Structure 1
Amino acid sequence: MMNSSKLAAMLLAGVATLAVTPVAARAQSAGTTLAADPVDDGNTIVVTAQRRSEDNLTVPVAVSVIRSETLHDYDAAGGDTLLSLSGKVPSLYVETSTGRIFPRFYIRGLGNIDFYLGASQPVEIIQDDVVEENVVLKSNPVFDVADVEVLKGPQGSLFGRNTTAGIVKFDSAQPSETWAGQGSVSYGRFNSVNADVGIGGPLTRDGTISFRLSGLYQHRDNWISNTYMGPSDDGTVGGHNKLDGFDERDVRLQVLVKPSDAFSLRVAGHYRDYAGFASIFYRGSIIPGTNAVPASFDRSVVAYDEAQNNPQAYKTHGVSVKAAYDFGGVTLTSITAWEHASGYSRGDTDGGAAANFGGTAANYCAVGCGESQGQLRYLDQWTQEVRLASPDTGPFKWQLGGIYFDQRDNTEFDQRSFFLTNNILGTAPNPNNFVLLHDVNTSYAGFAQASYDLTSALTLTGGVRVTNDTKRTSLLLHPNFVNLAVPVTAPASSYACGTATYCRLSDTKPSFDASLLYKLSPEASVYARVARGFRGPTIQGRSAVFATAYTTANSETNTSYEAGVKTAFWDGRIHFNAAGFYYVVDNIQLNGNDANGNGVLFNASKGKGYGAEAELDARPIPNFHIGVGLSLLHTEIDDKGVYAQVGAAGGVPSETVLDPTVRIGNNYFAQINGNPFPNAPDYNVNVNARYDIPLGDGKSRVFVSTDFNLQGKTDFVLYRAVEYSADGNYELGAKVGYAFGRYEIAAFARNLTNTKNLVDVIDTSNYRAGIYNDPRVFGVMLSGSFK
């Protein structure tokens, strides 16, 4: 019987074939011309950063746009559709230490390294007008995309919540009154498959009801071998090619009802089924005294004695309804959405068999065994937004509205002894190291924004939002219930946790933005902007798994100052944008580790950052397109009294710490005042280019394209350590092929030079475990579109 993976692959390949052949033929017979479309078919960059479709030249916000066609190149090898965006535009960084279900986003250095399933992130993800708050919902892949926009700095008035750093906004291709579709299917090394397809059109003769069906299928075979064949207290068995494969299956259906020009109703549903592996930690791969990756390091081999080879599986689904009615002088929009998620992720967190690092047959965990699991038993998120907006024309434009957010989940955390099943080496089964938490997060906000043309060249824009954010965490189940106690560092007054097993934090604050934009000419504008964002208080409930009370962090606010220039000249063939910024985060939320490797929340007095960004998008000669981006960044923690724990074992630090340290027992704490934020590269360069060579028939062409990313000095933890940083990480991608009209067949390579980059670390004990980028993958790719 055919398994579900092969069935899904065949169905999606069938849809892709449908998208690039017979339906296209029907469109042609109806009079649709499929003209050659090299890279870009317009000279105006349109963005929706202010919830209106506007020329980027008139928007007083730093916005980077990622073209939908380039996403297919980044993901050709089955790469994560979100993690692959890292470094592709200035000031955007994405990483994970928990696998595909937990991407962490950073904009201009602001992010959160917390690996807690309930972690709060200062970068908001919005997919098809819906806020994705929980980290698992943030991981929902993007496919059949129309637009990707990265909005830099606090988005104080118009979007979502928790927007102290910025927004990554994804808009899917929408239903249309005429038939349209796209498909991209690739096959490569490790049996990697990537199929991203979408097709849609009218369901009625008059086009008042239309649909769009989209799908994503990704697969990769296991390619990492587990060489450990010794005893295991949880029954883990090694073998050849046991880890790091995946199956990603996603589908989305949208139906648009538009009985008149005044009213539209879009109903959308999506489903995700993912199975793969948690991040692969390589114990001992980080060499004391250097951050250079050893030449002998092999990404294809681990030695795991626990965690059943790091399995991970999640399912998510959701429904949204967007209704809009134009009353003539005002449009009323309502967006209602429900999202659900469940799944688990388990990992060998010490990154390798303890027996290989000094253990003996009698006590093979003497130098540390470690595994853990996070399990989201269920999560439900409800959001309701209502917005009134003026027409997009005229000198005065405005919008106002409100949003309500409600998220509830039951989340379980399991540590090593929970999994012990035998007594191979005298370790008695002791499955009691677990915790079950119930979390409730509610938020509501009112917002308003207006723009007024003071003159034909000068526009003033201002907005305000007032947000209440309340979080509650209850301990439902824990074997060491009586041992929990409220720590002496618990927040005071209104932020205090109620008891050792229940915590409630709540805060209400305003946020705002104000800007001036001046049009120097039809081809150039300059702007200045000040904005403030608010991120509510946060609870770290996972601490209870070690019989330790919750840690918490109070609210933070970010005040940002920005000025920039936007240009589009030479008939729109050259776009150049640049911006400089400075921001101060008051009461910045930080996350470190304790002696158990458990995340600990705390606040520092301030965090500061400043820098510059520049982007060039150009078609200087026919058939050649190039994009170049650069970001320069300086960040620092500003608090002389704040310390972060340093990884140590037996009273000996595991790394070369460059900060002043103090020792308390066997633990070391580093003073982090003046240090850069984690995962905040001090520079980033991105380049993508394509050159098409027309052939004699006038209809076809050969082409070559490439993309390159270079990342500057990046620290992975709060304290400065020689080993726990990277400098000069880079990756190169390439594609060469043949195109006919809107269709292409090509050979591709991702990580062409097979570069080994350290991208994260495990800051615990003496493991010195690193996480690394994917190896080189090459293959073939077929893509096409019609409309």
Structure 2
Amino acid sequence: MYPTTLRPFLLLGAGLTALLSAPAKAQDETPAAPPPTAAQEEQDNNDIIVTARRRSESAQDIPLAVSVIDARQLDETGAFNVNRLQQLAPTLQFYSSNPRNTAVNIRGLGVPFGLTSDGFEQGVGIYVDDVYYSRVASATFDFLDVAQIEVLRGPQGTLYGKNTTAGAINIQTNQPSFDFEGRAELSLGNFEFRQARLAVSGPLSETVAARVAFSGTSRRGTIRNVTSGEDIQSLDNLGVRAQLLWEPTDSLRVTLVGDYNKQDALCCGSVFVRTGATQRPLNRQFAALAAAQNYAPPSTNPFDRLSDLDSRLNAGNVIAGASIKLVWDVGPGTFTSVSAWRTWDWKPENDRDFTGLSIVALSQNPSQQDQYTQEFRYAYSGERFDFVIGAFAFDQRIDTQGTEAQGRAASGWNIAPGNALSLDQTVLDGLTARNTQSLESTSVALFGQLSWKVTDAFTIQPGLRLNYDKKSGFYQRRVFTGTGAELTGRETDARSRAQLAIFTPQVSAPEDTDRNLTYDLTASYELAPDVLAYGTYARSFKTIGINQNGLPTDAAGQPIAAAGTIRPEKVDHFELGLKTQFWDRNATLNLAAFRTDIRDYQATVINGEFGVLRGFLANAGKVRSQGIEADFSIRPSQRFTAYTSGAWTDAKYVRFVDAPCPPELAGGTTVGAGQTPSAPGTPGGLSPANCDISGQRLPGVSKWAFAFGAEGNIPAEFLGKTGEVYLGYDGSYRSDFSSNPSPSAYTHVEGYHLSNFRLGFRTEDGLNLFAWVRNAFDEDYFEQLFVGPGNTGLIAGLPGDPRTWGATASIAF
């Protein structure tokens, strides 16, 4: 039997680091400064150095679709987390109703849209200095002391530690230096926006250097909660990162890193958007239910930004970790070992009925995670051959303690009018489900990639990865009435049956293992100097998933044991690309065309009712994402730069015949043999048991997405310093998209365009003063729309940020 934990093996990396480092002797002379970061290696000829293939090389020389954003662009555009980053990278999609329910996708692929489950893997890997971050919640934190971010598109499993089927976000931070240096930044803005950053680096001895960085961000919320009198959707982030570098010889570098990130935001809420007719009886739709309880939302205009949520809101969480990285130039190549531990402590409080009524009085699922990873890698670069071979191990434990409780308005909302129990608040008031969950996940892999330069112009690059994964889960739901009596699920009296229709006890312990072989082949040809054409085929897999939030039930109300696990995704990816530079390398144009087919797509099925399940995982038949991407930049002189990036993405379900129905087709009596479902939005109609959404678009993906901008500057003197005055603009556009796993007319999000401006003064010695305005034209738009529970027709939403403005001062020393 395979061992249930890999932690002893994972700690081997740290031990190996100590073993290799112990015999090294300090040099008599002060060692050379560490190699510059990728961002610092940008050349006068507009080359951008990246480490996407685990070695430093020009972004234009690699046969890979990659977007590169450096530190200055991140700072000056206000892209301090992945949510802001998507405005600079059109093929990146980011959705977050709270840190746990966060999705980061590339080309529409990565994780299914909807409530997050611990039981599946993310398809977009997030790496910080080679350390894999398994929780997408880490993407909601501020970037901390970042040098450069690379967004890699397409499968990356033959080069990266954890198998990633949709792409990777490779974040590189600034490294410790043997010269004293630092940077300080302060930003102030409307909505009481405050952001401070500080980084200091320098030598502690001839062979040891340290770097410490701090970031703090706060802002009051952009939505007014009229019930509590508070502004929700606030920011309250704190981050600290410390690094210690030991360089005993020219050939050996050991870096110890620790980081701590905390969020304590008043988040996350929503606003009333609209109602839409469902197939529930008319007296069980939102208008009738609200009228029966004398309820009206605070505003029917969502951009009044008013909410009346009556439950406590909290999105408090801590992500922290430590790692030790060894880089050893041994023989003709470089050996790298990365040992890491990461932890996540999530303490949420939500209002899941989206109203000011006490229907769901309590909804919180605190979770704790510990993750251990170990990666060994050896990279060789030669005249004709380059290769990377590696081994990766991953061990994760997640524990969750959920509490969901009904309130005094629940009986009137959830029990059918006409049933006398609907008039008795005590039937459901205080009804509580206590959920206990755990997950152990183990993964090991061997991977490698070879680059063979057949001729000076023609290169073949095959890659291979062997994976083993094991997952073991546990779920228990216990149900208690308002008086504290526990329900077994076997009760037959009317009162108990009404309670069990909301929460049903359940126990499940799904587990599964899987092995698969990932491989890819890329061929590239240099058609002319600075013109590279390439083609790629990749077969990749996203590993098995398990239903960690409970199982769906059959007609008799019994859990369906076979639904405990879901099959791995099978990915076939094709890509053609062209990378060019011209006009003496002052202009760059890159093109890519891709097609990705996924069989057994891991989808989230959302239960429309309040009880039983928050949602579960299932395999859709097949999805496809295909499209064309273009990136163009121009820098005719030191005084002007401009860029534009665009993507056309056609992402759809090729086959999904048993999908959950959208709200306009849900809530009625399920059709029987020989019956025909009613037209959408027919009150009291007949609803299909499930819906065929084959051919419809995947959620969250715009067909068209663009990012564009320009900056000009002129020489100037200010405050007695010589420098340049600059004016910059950055814009983005997204066309319409669906905000529900099964496309619905009620959750169609219109396209929108955002414009950001900045005006400032900077000097070569590191002073930068600028004013900025983001969403300058105060565009009203939605980041997400939500279908309210219970199929009542309620649609809630999360408006995007309104116009924000402020000023930033930074200095390097």
Whether TM-score is above 0.5 comes out as: yes
Q: Which moved more, 1:395-404 or 1:344-353?
A: 344-353
Q: Which amino acid aligns with 1:630?
A: G
Question: Secondary structure of the residue that 2:594 maps to in structure 1?
Answer: strand
| 1:314 positional shift | 0.6
Label 1:95 to 1:640 Cα distance change in 2 as closer, same or farther (>3 A). Answer: closer
| 1:424 positional shift | 12
1: CA distance between counterparts of 2:70 and 2:82? 14
1: CA distance between counterparts of 2:406 and 2:223? 26
Aligned equivalent of 1:375: 366
| 1:429 positional shift | 5.4
- The equivalent position to 2:803 in structure 1, one of 732, 753, 776, is 776
Aligned equivalent of 1:713: 736
- The equivalent position to 2:749 in structure 1, one of 705, 708, 726, is 726
Task: Give the count of matched residue pairs.
Answer: 697
Label 1:545 to 1:608 Cα distance change in 2 as closer, same or farther (>3 A). Answer: closer
1: CA distance between counterparts of 2:463 and 2:667? 54
Question: Secondary structure of the residue that 2:72 maps to in structure 1?
Answer: helix
Is the contact between residue 353 and residue 369 of structure 1 (CA under 8 Å) also seen in structure 2? Answer: no
Aligned equivalent of 2:420: none
Q: Which amino acid aligns with 2:787?
A: D
Label 1:299 to 1:536 Cα distance change in 2 as closer, same or farther (>3 A). Answer: farther
| 1:144 positional shift | 1.0
Is 1:399 the counterpart of 2:388? The answer is yes
Label 1:515 to 1:603 Cα distance change in 2 as closer, same or farther (>3 A). Answer: same
Label 1:92 to 1:566 Cα distance change in 2 as closer, same or farther (>3 A). Answer: same
- The equivalent position to 1:686 in structure 2, one of 707, 717, 721, is 707
Aligned equivalent of 1:767: 794
Aligned equivalent of 1:493: none
Is 1:324 the counterpart of 2:327? The answer is yes
Label 1:142 to 1:696 Cα distance change in 2 as closer, same or farther (>3 A). Answer: closer
Question: Secondary structure of the residue that 2:73 maps to in structure 1?
Answer: helix
Listed as ranges, the matches of 1:453-472 within 5 Å are: 453-472=453-472
What 5-or-longer segments of structure 1 have no aligned partner?
Answer: 1-36, 229-237, 355-364, 485-498
Label 1:609 to 1:244 Cα distance change in 2 as closer, same or farther (>3 A). Answer: closer
| 1:223 positional shift | 4.8
Aligned equivalent of 1:385: 375
Listed as ranges, the matches of 1:386-465 within 5 Å are: 386-390=376-380, 392-417=381-406, 426=426, 430=430, 432-465=432-465
Q: Which amino acid aligns with 1:700?
A: G
Q: Which moved more, 1:186-195 or 1:295-304?
A: 295-304
| 1:619 positional shift | 0.8
| 1:553 positional shift | 2.4
Aligned equivalent of 1:627: 643
Aligned equivalent of 1:5: none
Aligned equivalent of 2:342: 339
2: CA distance between counterparts of 1:662 and 1:516? 58
Sequence identity, in percent?
A: 25
2: CA distance between counterparts of 1:417 and 1:193? 38
| 1:670 positional shift | 2.8
Listed as ranges, the matches of 1:529-678 within 5 Å are: 529-543=536-550, 549=559, 552-596=565-609, 598-639=614-655, 641-647=657-663, 651=668, 669-678=690-699
Is 1:517 the counterpart of 2:517? The answer is no
Is the contact between residue 551 and residue 602 of structure 1 (CA under 8 Å) also seen in structure 2? Answer: no
Is 1:301 the counterpart of 2:322? The answer is no
| 1:692 positional shift | 0.8
Aligned equivalent of 1:93: 93
Q: Which moved more, 1:572-581 or 1:190-199?
A: 190-199
Aligned equivalent of 1:226: 225
Question: Secondary structure of the residue that 1:643 maps to in structure 2?
Answer: coil
1: CA distance between counterparts of 2:457 and 2:683? 58
Label 1:545 to 1:454 Cα distance change in 2 as closer, same or farther (>3 A). Answer: closer
| 1:173 positional shift | 0.7
2: CA distance between counterparts of 1:620 and 1:370? 60
Is 1:280 the counterpart of 2:269? The answer is yes
Is the contact between residue 256 and residue 266 of structure 1 (CA under 8 Å) also seen in structure 2? Answer: yes
TM-score (norm: length of structure 1): 0.82
| 1:104 positional shift | 1.1
2: CA distance between counterparts of 1:286 and 1:729? 22
- The equivalent position to 1:260 in structure 2, one of 246, 249, 255, is 249
Aligned equivalent of 2:722: 699
1: CA distance between counterparts of 2:148 and 2:395? 27
What is the aligned-residue RMSD (CA, Å)?
3.2
Label 1:288 to 1:752 Cα distance change in 2 as closer, same or farther (>3 A). Answer: farther
2: CA distance between counterparts of 1:548 and 1:222? 43
Label 1:713 to 1:428 Cα distance change in 2 as closer, same or farther (>3 A). Answer: closer
Listed as ranges, the matches of 1:49-88 within 5 Å are: 49-75=52-78, 81-88=81-88
2: CA distance between counterparts of 1:661 and 1:574? 57
| 1:695 positional shift | 2.1
Q: Which moved more, 1:164-173 or 1:564-573?
A: 564-573
Is the contact between residue 593 and residue 763 of structure 1 (CA under 8 Å) also seen in structure 2? Answer: no
Is 1:131 the counterpart of 2:152? The answer is no
Aligned equivalent of 1:353: 356
Q: Which amino acid aligns with 2:784?
A: D
| 1:66 positional shift | 1.3
2: CA distance between counterparts of 1:46 and 1:662? 60
Aligned equivalent of 1:108: 107
| 1:760 positional shift | 1.0
Label 1:481 to 1:64 Cα distance change in 2 as closer, same or farther (>3 A). Answer: farther
Is the contact between residue 82 and residue 103 of structure 1 (CA under 8 Å) also seen in structure 2? Answer: no
| 1:143 positional shift | 1.7
Provide, for residues 418-474 of structure 1, a one-character-per-residue CA deviation record: whole Å limited to 9, x for no partner: 9999x9965675363120101111100001111111001111111100111221111
Provide, for residues 224-251 of structure 1, a one-character-per-residue CA deviation record: whole Å limited to 9, x for no partner: 33223xxxxxxxxx22x34222311100
Provide, for residues 579-611 of structure 1, a one-character-per-residue CA deviation record: whole Å limited to 9, x for no partner: 111111111111121132622211122111211
Question: Secondary structure of the residue that 2:321 maps to in structure 1?
Answer: strand
TM-score (norm: length of structure 2): 0.80
Is the contact between residue 712 and residue 728 of structure 1 (CA under 8 Å) also seen in structure 2? Answer: yes
Is 1:757 the counterpart of 2:781? The answer is yes
Label 1:187 to 1:705 Cα distance change in 2 as closer, same or farther (>3 A). Answer: same
| 1:401 positional shift | 1.6
| 1:643 positional shift | 2.1
| 1:195 positional shift | 2.0
Q: Which moved more, 1:424-433 or 1:702-711?
A: 424-433
Question: Secondary structure of the residue that 1:298 maps to in structure 2?
Answer: helix
| 1:500 positional shift | 4.5
Is the contact between residue 582 and residue 611 of structure 1 (CA under 8 Å) also seen in structure 2? Answer: yes
2: CA distance between counterparts of 1:668 and 1:646? 11
